[in-house]
Amino acid sequence: MSAGTPDGSGEAEQVEQLARQAVGEVTGMAKEIEDAKGPRPVPMAELSRPGANGGVEAIDLLSDVNLQVKIELGRTRMVVEDVLRLNAGSVVELDKAAGDPVDIYVNGRHVARGEVLVLNESFCVRVSEIVDPVRREERA
């Protein structure tokens, strides 16, 4: 029994009040922790909007850049002895059949495939397929 009250109810009341206060504080802390875990806005500076032709103007900056474009008809492997025997009229067999698509490289990167044509007595290539960027990386 408590010294202040003959039946100890004052002490029980204090314990109960302290327990309620502790529960309230723990609940408040749990709420703060939960709020801290969730998404919250991050202040960011306002971005300036490009003009209506912003993308076109950016591309125009690159219009004078020279790129190296190569068309690959096919590949083969040869031993040095066979290379040394090459002369005018020699035939080198490639790994592709006539009519197969040729590979188009820009600055050393495989970007497309196409078919060989003749236009005004000059060879040219009609692009038939743009190579998927994922497959470009696999081939490199």
pLDDT tens by residue, 29-60: 777 776 666 666 667 777 665 555 556 677 77
Is residue 5 in a domain?
Answer: yes
110 contacts 133 by C-beta, under 8 angstroms:
no
Q: How high is the pLDDT of residue 31?
A: 74
pLDDT tens by residue, 100-138: 999 999 999 999 999 999 889 888 999 999 998 776 555
- 20 and 81 both lie in a single domain: no
Q: How high is the pLDDT of residue 7?
A: 59
Q: How high is the pLDDT of residue 55?
A: 62
CATH number at residue 80: 2.30.330.10
Taken as a whole, the chain contains a residue count of 140
Domain that includes residue 24, residue range: 1-36
Is residue 28 in a domain?
Answer: yes
Is residue 61 in a domain?
Answer: no
Euclidean distance between CA atoms 48 and 46, whole angstroms: 6
Local confidence band at 2 (pLDDT 50, 70, 90 cut-offs): very low
- 72 and 135 both lie in a single domain: yes
Q: Residue 127's closest CA among 139, 115, 111, 140?
A: 115
125 contacts 71 by C-beta, under 8 angstroms:
yes
Average per-residue pLDDT in the chain? Answer: 81
pTM score over 0.75: no
Could you tell me which residue, 8 or 31, shows the higher pLDDT?
Answer: 31
What lies within 8 Å, CB to CB, of 75 at 6+ separation is: 94, 95
pLDDT tens by residue, 67-106: 999 999 999 999 999 999 999 999 999 998 888 999 999 9
> What's the domain count of the chain?
2
Q: How high is the pLDDT of residue 1?
A: 47
Q: How far is CA 22 from CA 13, 14, 16, 77, in A?
A: 14, 12, 10, 81
